Structure 1
Amino acid sequence: MKVLVGALAAVLCIVVLPALLVGIALIDGNAEASENTDGGGGLRNVPAEFRPWLLKADATCKQPEMTTALLASQLYQESKFSTDRRAAVSDAGAQGPAQFIPSTWATWGRDEDGNGETSPWDIGDAVMAQGRLMCSLLGQAKSSGFAGDPRALALAGYNAGWRAVERFRGVPPIWFARRPGEEEGETYHYVKVILANLPRFQGPGLFEVSGSGNGPDALRRAAARIGTPYSWGGGSPAGPSTGFCDGTNGYLGGRCSASSTVGFDCSSLVQYAYWTSTQLPRVASAQYGATSNRPVSRNQLKPGDLLFWSKGGSGAIYHVAMYAGDGNVLHAPRTGKDVQLAPLTSAMPQRDYYGATRP
C-alpha cells in the first residue's frame, strides 16, 4: 500500500496553495449554520455531518430513482436529523436518525464509519443502512408490477414493511394505520410528506448546459456533483469516495482530512464525468497524455473541454478542470473546498495554465 500511495503522490491533483478568492458563492446566507446549500449538487438544507454519507449512500445505489434529496427528506421526516438518544426513539422502539427497529437493523446495519461499532446512532452507519434498504425497496417496487411511483412504494415499504405494500398492491390507503383523531394514516402521511418536501432538500442548478455530445453530457454529470467535498485521492467512475494522505496532500488543520472525506479530487471528477462515453485515465497528467492529440486554443473552448495547469511541462501537470462556458470552469480545487464553478482566469494561478484538450 505504501508503494501505491507513493506512486500516486507524484501524479494526482497536487495543489498546495494559499487560499484563493475565487469562484461563485455556493452557501445560502439565509440557511442556518448547520445547513449546507450547494447550489447544484442536488442537496441542500442538510447538516454538514450528514452530507458526505448521503452522497455516498446515493452513489452506492444503482437505482436512478434514488437521490440524495429523497434520502434527506426521509431523514428529516424520521428524526429531523436528530442523534439525541432521548429524542430519536419511537414508540415502536425505532432508534437513531434513520429510525431502525432492532430486527431491521440486524439485517441492514454495518460499521460504515470504522469506529468498531455497528450502531443506528452513528450517522454513517445509519445513513448507509437507510440507503441500502431504500435501494432494495426501489428494486422491489419496480419489479412488483404495482401501479404508482416507485419512490412512494419504497417509502411505504420502509415505513410499514413490504408486506403492507403487497397487501394493498400499492401504497396503503389513507385509513391504514390511522390513529384516533387523525385524518391520515401514518404510512399514507409519511409518503405524502416526504415527497412533498423534496424541493426543500434539492440543490438548485447553478447553470444550464446546452447542446449534446460527449462534452456537454460530461459537464452535466459533473455539475450534478457541485458542492461535493474535495478529497485527495478520493473518487472513481462510480462516484465520490474517501481518499488518503501522502505526507503532503490531503491534510486540513494538521490532520488527514482526505481519509474521512467522501468526495472527488480534480482528476477523479473528470474521470467520473466522462466515464460513460470516454474512459479517461485516473490522474491529471495521464488525462492530458490521453487527449493531447486534440489540443484546443483558449479562444476555441467548448463546454466539457479539459484545461490543465502545470509547474513546468506535461510531466508536471498538477490540476485539471472542465470548461463550463462563459469564461468559467467546473473543478474540484483543493482540500477544504467543494466541487465548484470558478472563473478560468482565477481558478488556478494564470502563470501555470498549460493548455486545453478535447476528449
Structure 2
Amino acid sequence: MNRYDRQERVSQIGPAGQAKLAAAHVVVVGLGALGSYAASQLVRAGVGELTLIDPDQVSETNLQRQALYTTADAQAATLKVTAAAQHLQAINPLVRLHLLPASFEANLLPADCDLILDCLDNYATRALVNHAARAAHLPYLFASCAGTFGTVMPIRPDGHHPCLNCLYPNLPELTQTDCDLIGVMTPLVPLVAGLQVSLAFKLLIAPEQVDFDRVWTLDAWEPAFQSFKVPINPGCPVCQQVSSSPEVLNPTPQVTALCGSQTYRYRLANPDLNELASRLTAAAHPVEHSPIFIRFSWQGHQVSLFKNGQLLLYGAENLQTATALIDQFVTMIISTQ
C-alpha cells in the first residue's frame, strides 16, 4: 500500500511531485505553535529530510497551541527537538530527522538545504534568518501568528524580489507584536501553518509558479483572507545592500521572554563553555554537557548555554526576576573569566 496515495492523486502533485517532496531537505526554524504543526504536516506528506532547530523545552503553557507535545513532555521539560522527533518518527519513520537544540545561526544551515520554514515567534531571530537566506541564496517561507491574525509570505531574497525587511522596514520595533504580549488564538495556528506548508509544496514541486512578491494575511475571527503585492525597498539594508550585517536590524542584547513560556533569553559574547563549566562546577553548580551546549542549575532555575552565546533561563516568574538572575550569573561567573 502506498502511504502517499491520496496525495499523489492531487493533479498538481502526482507521483513526480511526490518524488520531489521525498528528495527535499527542509529546515524548520522554531518548533513552537507554527513549527509543530508544519513539521507534522511535512512528515505526514513525505518530505524526505527535516532539520529541526529550537533551543527551548516543552512547558505546560505550550500545550494550548503546539500540536506535537503532550502533558508528559511538559512535565519532563523535554527539549522540543527531542519531543518533536519522538512524535514525528511515530507518525512517519521513513523521514530523516536532524535535531539542533540551539538558537538559529547561519552556520546551522545544512549545505543541501532546499528550503527554510520560518516558524519563529520573535522578529530579532527572523532578521537573522532573512540575512542567512540572502547569503545562502535560499528561498524561505515566513509565517507569523498573533491574536487572531496570521501572515505568510514566500521570500527569495536575491535582490530581485522583496525580502522580510522590505515587508517590515521597522523590524527592531516589531518585538511589541510577539505573541507573549498579545496572545494567539488556538485555531489560528493550523490555518497559518497549512498555508505555509501548502506554499512549501508549491515551491518544492513547481517553484516557477510561486509569487515571491506577494504576502497573504488572514483573520481567523471574522474570518477574512486577503493578499497584496510587496514592493522592493531600493534602500533595503539586506537584499539591496548585501554588505550590511544582521546587527543593523537587531537591538542591543537584553533579556527577553520566549513566547508562551517562562523561558528567558540572553546573548553572551564568545563564551568558552569548557571554562565556564569548570567555574560552575567549582562553585557547586553541576554541569550537564552536550556537543553544542551546557546545562546547569542557577539559583534553583535550569539554564542552557549554547556555543553561539545564547543563554536560556527557565521557570522565572517574570522578566524582572529573570534579568536579576542573569545579571547575577554574568557578574559572578562570566565577569571572572
TM-score by length of 2: 0.26
Q: Which has the larger radius of gyration?
A: 1
TM-score by length of 1: 0.25
